[in-house]
Amino acid sequence: MRAAVLFDMDGVLIDSGAHHRDAWVAMLAEAGVTPPPDFWRITIGRPSEEAVELLLERRLPEGETRRLAQRKHEHYARLVRRGLRPIAGVRAFVEALARAEVPRAVGTSAARYDAERLLAELGLRRHFEVVVTADDVRCGKPDPEVYLRAAEALAVEPTACLVFEDSLVGVRAARAAGMRAIGVTSAHSEAELVEAGAERAIADFVGLPWPP
């Protein structure tokens, strides 16, 4: 059975956590909300519109949810102009997969525009045959749709896929899709990721062999 490797984007391919946290803080400040400690854990791996209501702890009219999610996006876009970095070792690992002709895809909760632009800016986009974004699915993580669509686009069985994820909802999405998962500890501890269903966790991709 042909194996494939699927990657989340933020926190797995791109070290973007600080920009996302600062963007949420700016949006919440505009809404008159002081976020609790570790508030950002709620947002990891989730579409922005879903995270808005979780952070505000109440249901909102659909238009208001979209407006606040868009404000967060605008703050993030402003912060990203300061520059982003790939997760350590990930470029070499992805290039090694490409040389070995291992099918590769990205499954992210980011919008299509952001995913395409950020991956291209870091020189990673050309290494992925498939990129599935929030614009391509009806249900966000922990629903498995994003990873099932990626496997289908690669013409690979879900059970032959290995997913790298930094979020608990992302690990659960991978496991719900019938895939293996390895956690990346850019947002959660190894214990948290393993409890969510990851078989183990790594800090980064430096020196990571294939198969891992």
The helix (H) or strand (E) run that includes residue 146 is helix 145-154
- Can 8 be counted among the known catalytic residues? yes
Q: Where are the beta strands (DSSP E) in 14-109?
A: 14-15, 85-86, 104-107
Dig out the tokens for 187 from the structure: 């947002």
User: What's the order of all strands across the beta sheet hosting 200-202?
Assistant: 130-132, 104-107, 4-7, 161-165, 180-184, 200-202
CA distance 33 to 92: 41
Relative orientation angle of helices 62-80 and 17-30, to the nearest 10 degrees = 130
Active site residues: 8
